[in-house]
Structure 1
Amino acid sequence: MSDYDRTPRPSFLKGLLFIAVIAVGVALLAMFVLSQRSSEGPLVISEEPTPLAVDVVVADVQSSLALDEKFTGIVQPRRSSDLGFADGGRIAALNVDVGDRVTDGQILAVLDTRALRSQLASAEARVNEARASHALAMNTVERQQTLMARGHVSQQRVDEALAQAATADARIEAAKAQADTLRVQIDLASITAPYPGVITARNFDEGAIAPQGAPVFALVETGSLEARIGLPANLASTLEPGQVYTLQSDNGPIDARLRSVTGVIEAGQRSVTTVFDITDATTVSAGAVVRLSLSRDVEENGLWLPVSALAEGQRGLWSLYIAVPQDGGWVARPGLVEVVQSDGERAFVRGAISDGDRIIIDGLQRVAPGQAVAPRPAPMAASYSSEG
C-alpha cells in the first residue's frame, strides 16, 4: 500500500460539526438584528422621508422701492491762501508760526525796509523842492502880468512865465507819485492776514531772502467751512438753495445750508456738484468726511427679503426656494431673482416671485429642488414687510 492511501480522510461526523457551527453563527446574527428593534416595534425603512421644517415669509410684492442713498463729500475751508511778499527782500521778522490762529489784518511778517524808507525821504524832499519852484514860478507870472498891463513887457513874456509855472506844477505831481510808490512798496513789505484763520505752513525763517511771490505762509480760513458733494442730476434738481440739510459725520449730525448747485454734470464723475455751508464751523474740522442721505421712490416691482434667503447664482442672478403645495404637502421649488438694492441684512429683489408665495429664508444648504418641506412662519417675518 502506498503512502497516499494511508493519509486520514475527514469523517462524516466532522462535516456535521462544521455545518452546526455555521448554523449557530447565523442564529446568533439573527438574534442580534432582532435585538436592535425600537420600543415601538421592529426597524422599518420608511418609503417617504420626513418633511424638513423650514422658516418662511409670505411674499408681499410692492410696486415701488424707496431708496435711501448716501453721498459722500469732504469738509474744506471756504478760503485758503499761500501768502508771500509782492517784492523780494530780506525777512526782518516772522510774527506767527504753524498752528497759530490769526485775525483779519494781523501783520504776519515784514521785510527789511530801511532802503525803501531812505528813498521815500528823498522823494518827499523832491516834492518840497518842486513846490518851492512852483511858488516862485507863480510869483514870476504875477509880476509879468503886472508889467504887461503897464506896457513894459509883451504877451510872450507872460506866456513863458505861465509855462514855467506849469512845468513846476508837473514836477510836484511827479515827485508826489514817486513818494506814493515808495509808500506802497513799504506797505507791501509786510504780510497781513486777509481773513481769520490758522497758519498751516511756514516756509522761511528770519534773515532769509524771500523771492518775489514765493509762499511764506499757508493760511486756511477757520470761520467758514463748506462741503462739496456730487449728486446725480435728477437728485440735485430736487434740492432748494438756502435750505438747511443734515449731514452725517463721524462725530454726529451737522447742519449745513445749501449755497448753490452748479447744474453742470462733471464729465469724470457724471455728477452735479452741490456746495453746502457748515452753519457751525466748531462742530467739524476741515478734511472730515460727511455724508448726505436722500430718499427717492423708484418704480420697481419686488420685495424685501433677508439675505439668508438668497444663494449666489449665475450671471449676476440669485437663487431662492419657494415652498409650494403638492399632494397634500409642501415641496421646495427653486427660483431666480435679481438684487436691486442691498441694505445690511436684507435685500430688495425682483424676479420669479408672486404675492402669497412662501419663501424659505434659512437653511438653504439643506434644501434641494423637490424636497418635501414643512413651512412655518419665521419669527421675524414682519420685519421684512414693504415698510422695511
Structure 2
Amino acid sequence: MSEQASATATEESSSSTKRSTQRHFLTKRNSLLLLLTVAAGAVAIVMFRSESSTASTDEVSPSAKPLPVSIFEVQRFNNYLRQRDYTGILQEARRSQLGFQRAGEVIELLVDEGQAVSDNQVIAKLDTRHIEAREQQFEAQRLEAVAVLRELINGPRSETIAAKRAELETLRAQSKVLEKQLARREKLVQGNSVSREEYESYLHQAEAAAARVDMVNRQLDELVTGTREEQKAAQQARIDQLDAMLADVKHDLDDAELRAPYAGRVAARMIDEGAVIQAGAPVVELVDSTNLEAWVGLPVATAAGLSPGSVHTLLVDGLSVQATVHSLAPEVDRATRTRNVIFKLSADQAAAPQGSVLPGQVFRFAAEQRVEKSGFWVPTTALTRSTRGLWSVYVVVPAEEVETPTSGSSENTPGSIIARRDVELLDTVDEQCFVRGTLRSGDRVVSSGTHRVVTGQRVTTDDDAMAMRAGENQ
C-alpha cells in the first residue's frame, strides 16, 4: 500500500511540473505576439504621419509668397555629339632580331641591353681569319693572271723573233745544201754510179729539211703577228672570275660585322662572346624607339570619320601627345569587331620629355561620335526621380494655363506656377543630360533647387520680375 501511495504521489508531481512548463511557454508566446503587434502599430503610425506630412507639403496655399527660381529655356536637337574615350597601345614602328648571314665564332659583342645605337653602327663581329686567307690567295692568283694577260697583249720579245729568224736562215741553208746533194745523187743514180737506196736517203733528208724550214717560218710569222684575240679574251675572263671571287670574299668580310639597320635601342641580347652560331641565328633584338605608332581599335563608324593626315591628341600617362593618322586597317577585327587606326608620333614627340613615351605604354584617345537621337540638353541639377524608372523636370508655366483647385472651385491664379514633365534620360556628358519626353522647345525648366518646389507652387523668375517692374512704372 505504501508503494502504491508513493507511485501515485510521483505521478501527480510529474503532471504538476508539465502543467507549469506549458503555462510558462504560453505566457512567453503571448508576450512575443503582443510585442509584434505593438511594433506593427508603431510602423503604421509613422508611415501615416509621413504620408500626412508629404500630403501637407504638396498642398500649396494659393496665398503663399511666390518662390524665386532659376530657369533656362530648352531647345530641341535632332542629334548630338558624344565624346568617348578609347584605349590603345604604343608600338614601335620596327622591331628586328638581328643575326649574321654566315656561320662563325662571335669574337666581339659591342652593345648591351637598353643601349642606344645609331644607324649602321657595328654591333658584333665574327672571326675572319679564314676569310682573310682566302682573300690573299685570290689576290695572288689575280696578279698571276694579270701578268699573263700583259704578256699576251705585248706579244713576244724582239730577241725571240730575231733568234727565230736566225734559226730559219740556218734551216734554209741546210735545206739548200741537201737539195744540191740530192741533185747530184739524182744524176749519179741515172748513170748507176750510186745505188737507189743512197739516193732515196738524200731525198728524205732534203724533204725533212724543207719541212723544218716551213715550220720555223710559220712560227716566225706567229711571233711577228702577235697573240690571238681569243687568247687575250680568255685570259681577261680568268681575271674577271678572280675579281668576282675577291668581291665575294669582301662580302663575307662585311657579313662578319653585324650592323644596325636603323637607329634604335637594344631590347634583348641573346648570346655572348665566344659563341659559335649558325647563319641567321638571332644575336640581338633591336627596336626603333624613335618612330612610334599608336594602335587603337575604334567602332567602324567612328574610324570612318578619321582621315589620314589629320592631327589628334593622345593622352599618355597624363602627357598630351600630338599624333597624325597614318592609316586605317582594311578590315574589321573579327574578335573585337573594331577597326584598327594607326597613328604616327613624330620623333620629337617620341623622344620628349626624357623618354617618357615608350613602346608598350597605354594611351587614351577621345573621339566624337554623332548620335542620331532627338531630345533636349538639361543640367543634371534639373532632374528629379519619377516613377517607372523615368525622370522628371520642373517647368515654369503661366498660371492661367493651369486650373488650380481652390476652396472646391476652379479659378485661374495669376503669375507663374510649377508643372512637372516626365522625361527619359538618354545620355550624360559631364554636367549635362540629354533627355526626351513631354518637353517642348521654349519650355522654361528649373535649373537648380528642385527640392524646394512642388507641382502647382507659385514662383517668380527674372522675366516675371522685369514684367512686374514694367507694370509698376506704367
| d(CA) in 2 for partners of 1:192, 1:304 | 62
1:97 maps to which of 105, 112, 119? 112
Q: What residue identity is the alignment partner of 1:51?
A: D
| d(CA) in 2 for partners of 1:262, 1:60 | 40
| d(CA) in 1 for partners of 2:91, 2:54 | 73
TM-score, normalized by length of structure 1?
0.66
1:142-199 deviations in Å (ceiling 9; x for gaps): 999999xx97359999798433332222111111111111110111111111222111
Contact 1:319 1:334 in 2 (8 A): no
Residue 111 of structure 1 corresponds to: 126
After superposition, residues 1-388 of structure 1 pair within 5 angstroms as: 48-51=55-58, 60-63=74-77, 64-140=79-155, 152=218, 161-232=228-299, 235-236=302-303, 239=306, 241-258=308-325, 260-262=326-328, 264-268=330-334, 269-271=337-339, 273-278=341-346, 279-283=348-352, 284-295=357-368, 297-305=370-378, 309=383, 318-322=389-393, 327-328=404-405, 335=422, 337=424, 339=426, 341-344=427-430, 346-355=432-441, 356=443
Q: What residue identity is the alignment partner of 1:193?
A: A
Residue 16 of structure 1 corresponds to: none
Secondary structure of the corresponding residue to residue 218 of structure 2: coil
Larger Rg: 2
| d(CA) in 2 for partners of 1:52, 1:154 | 144
Secondary structure of the corresponding residue to residue 324 of structure 2: strand
Change beyond 3 A, Cα 1:92–1:232: same
| d(CA) in 2 for partners of 1:207, 1:47 | 90
1:83-105 deviations in Å (ceiling 9; x for gaps): 11111211111111001111122
Contact 1:108 1:191 in 2 (8 A): yes
Change beyond 3 A, Cα 1:312–1:105: farther
Contact 1:140 1:161 in 2 (8 A): no
RMSD between aligned residues: 4.5
Return the offset for 1:209: 1.6
> Unaligned regions of 5+ residues in structure 2, if any?
1-51, 61-68, 165-215, 396-401, 407-416, 461-474
| d(CA) in 2 for partners of 1:73, 1:81 | 22
Change beyond 3 A, Cα 1:129–1:56: same
Contact 2:76 2:375 in 1 (8 A): yes
Percent identical residues: 27
Contact 1:85 1:188 in 2 (8 A): yes
Q: What residue identity is the alignment partner of 1:90?
A: E
| d(CA) in 2 for partners of 1:346, 1:277 | 34
Secondary structure of the corresponding residue to residue 285 of structure 2: strand
Q: What residue identity is the alignment partner of 1:255?
A: Q
Return the offset for 1:133: 2.6
> Unaligned regions of 5+ residues in structure 1, if any?
1-44, 365-370, 378-388
1:324-382 deviations in Å (ceiling 9; x for gaps): 8674599997846252x333555423345444375899999xxxxxx9786989xxxxx
Number of residue-to-residue matches in the alignment: 323
Q: What residue identity is the alignment partner of 2:350?
A: A
Change beyond 3 A, Cα 1:59–1:128: same
TM-score, normalized by length of structure 2?
0.55
Q: What residue identity is the alignment partner of 1:342?
A: T
More helix by share: 2
Q: What residue identity is the alignment partner of 2:263?
A: P
